[in-house]
């Protein structure tokens, strides 16, 4: 009797335990089903959720960033940090208004191979710090192409390598004729291929404040700025650029710092603007009527495009953007790499004596 009773009690406890395990399994399955059901309504990524929250206007970007830092232990959506830093601009706004293309034209002249390579390398490292898009147009004589081509391929920059077969004497190079021809070749390429952007002439001896490139992208027609020009062998610094009054360009000035003295002279309309001191919208080359240049007739196709642009920039100061806005700061330094003539070398030697 006792043994059968014990056996019956053990069987009851086994049935009770089995029932409890079945209930736990059923409860676990229900919880998994509920969690899976609601997970299907959740966004596929954290960035989708944050974007939806910001676009809804209910949560500011700074709040979203702080929430993500707390939840993810410091793992933050970098795109949100970037847009919070610029005042909450949406990612869609940046995509809708991309940065304008900068077309940087560099002439190489008749420089020694080692000097050219060093100057191009220095310029390449500067341009790699500039936000894209940027197109570097390098112009040089045909015999110098192979070495420069290898150098340009290694820069990681977007570039166009232009060449020409024209021969220039040392006297032509000293007179600046080769530089002018190289710029003409570059502008012809830009016009022929409709490279739409802001065109800047950057010599191998130029140095730039990086803020300057951000200012360039705001040019709609023309832009101008003061340039400090230094001679390679002479102790001379000249600053030239637009003269500003209030919010308008009123003329051009030239300030000569020689022998610790300065003399300023302003001109309402100079004969020619320094190529290192202005930039322009490339569409001026193939659509001058847009700027009111040829209201009734077609432009003269035989006209030198380089001189054409230099003339147009001086015709209407109201179209010229000032860089910086008050023309009070030098952001571009130009070192004249052209070898001085024999007469200037003699005078320099006499000064040193």
DSSP 262-325: EEEEEESS-SS--GGGEEEEGGGTT-GGGGTS-SSS---TTS-HHHHHHHHHTT-GGGEEESST
8-33 pLDDT, tens digit per residue, is 555 555 555 666 676 777 776 776 66
At 327 the three-state DSSP class reads coil
* C-beta separation of 179 from 156 below 8 A: no
> Residue 126: which pLDDT band, with cuts at 50, 70 and 90?
very high
The H or E element that residue 174 is part of is helix 170-174
pLDDT at 326: 81
Measured CA distances, 304 to 280, 282, 288, 292 (Å): 16, 15, 14, 19
| Strands, sheet with 332-336, edge to edge from the N-terminal-most edge strand | 206-208, 332-336, 227-231, 237-245, 248-258, 261-267
CA-CA distance, 221 to 346, in Å (whole number)?
44
User: Are 231 and 337 spatial neighbours (Cβ–Cβ below 8 Å)?
Assistant: no
Residues 116 and 75: their CA atoms lie apart, in Å, by 46
Confidence of residue 73 (pLDDT cuts 50, 70, 90): very low
Does residue 211 surpass a pLDDT of 50?
Answer: yes
Q: Which of 36-45, 79-88, 267-276 shows the lowest mean pLDDT across its residues?
A: 79-88
Contacts of 214 (CB under 8 A, 6+ apart): 131
Section 122-130 average pLDDT: 96
- Does the reported pTM lie above 0.85? no
Task: Give the span between the Cα atoms of 203 and 337, in whole angstroms.
Answer: 9
280, 221 Cβ separation under 8 angstroms: yes
**In this predicted structure, what is the pLDDT of residue 79?**
35
Residues 6+ apart with CB under 8 A from 52: 43
Instruction: State the pLDDT confidence band at 248, using cuts at 50, 70 and 90.
Output: confident
- Please name each of the domains of the chain with its CATH number: 102-348 (3.90.550.10)
What digits encode the pLDDT tens for the residues 230-243? 876 777 888 888 88
pLDDT digits (tens, 9 = 90+) for 84-121: 333 444 444 445 578 999 999 999 876 777 888 999 99
Can you read off the two tokens belonging to residue 281? 């919208």
Angle between helix axes 46-56 and 78-85 (nearest 10 degrees) is 30
């Amino acid at each position: 009797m006792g043994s059968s009773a014990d056996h019956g009690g053990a069987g009851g406890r086994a049935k009770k335990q089995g029932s409890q395990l079945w209930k736990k399994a059923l409860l676990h399955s229900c919880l998994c089903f509920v969690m899976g059901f609601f997970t299907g309504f959740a966004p596929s990524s954290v960035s989708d959720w944050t974007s939806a929250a910001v676009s809804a206007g209910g949560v500011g970007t700074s709040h979203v960033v702080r929430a993500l830092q707390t939840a993810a232990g410091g793992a933050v959506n970098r795109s949100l940090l970037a847009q919070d830093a610029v005042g909450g601009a949406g990612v869609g706004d940046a995509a809708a208004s991309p940065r304008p293309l900068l077309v940087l034209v560099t002439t190489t002249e008749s420089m020694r191979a080692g000097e050219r390579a060093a100057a191009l390398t220095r310029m390449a490292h500067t341009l790699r710090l500039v936000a894209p898009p940027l197109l570097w147009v390098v112009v040089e004589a045909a015999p110098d192409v192979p070495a420069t081509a290898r150098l340009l391929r290694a820069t990681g920059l977007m570039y166009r390598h232009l060449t020409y077969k024209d021969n220039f004497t040392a006297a032509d190079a000293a007179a600046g004729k080769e530089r002018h021809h190289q710029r003409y070749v570059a502008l012809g390429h830009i016009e022929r291929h409709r490279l739409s952007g802001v065109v800047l002439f950057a010599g191998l001896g130029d140095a730039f404040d990086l803020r300057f490139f951000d200012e360039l992208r705001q040019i709609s027609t023309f832009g101008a700025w003061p340039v400090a020009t230094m001679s390679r062998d002479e102790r001379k610094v000249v600053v030239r650029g637009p003269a500003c009054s209030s919010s308008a360009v009123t003329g051009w000035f030239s300030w000569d710092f020689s022998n610790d003295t300065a003399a300023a002279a302003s001109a309402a309309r100079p004969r020619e603007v320094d190529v290192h001191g202005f930039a322009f919208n490339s569409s001026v080359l193939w659509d001058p009527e847009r700027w009111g240049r040829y209201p009734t007739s077609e432009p003269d196709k035989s006209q030198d495009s380089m001189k054409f642009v230099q003339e147009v920039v001086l015709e209407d100061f109201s179209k010229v953007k000032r860089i910086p806005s008050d023309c009070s700061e030098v952001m571009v330094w130009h070192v004249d790499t052209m070898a001085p003539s024999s007469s200037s070398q003699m005078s320099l030697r006499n000064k040193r004596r």
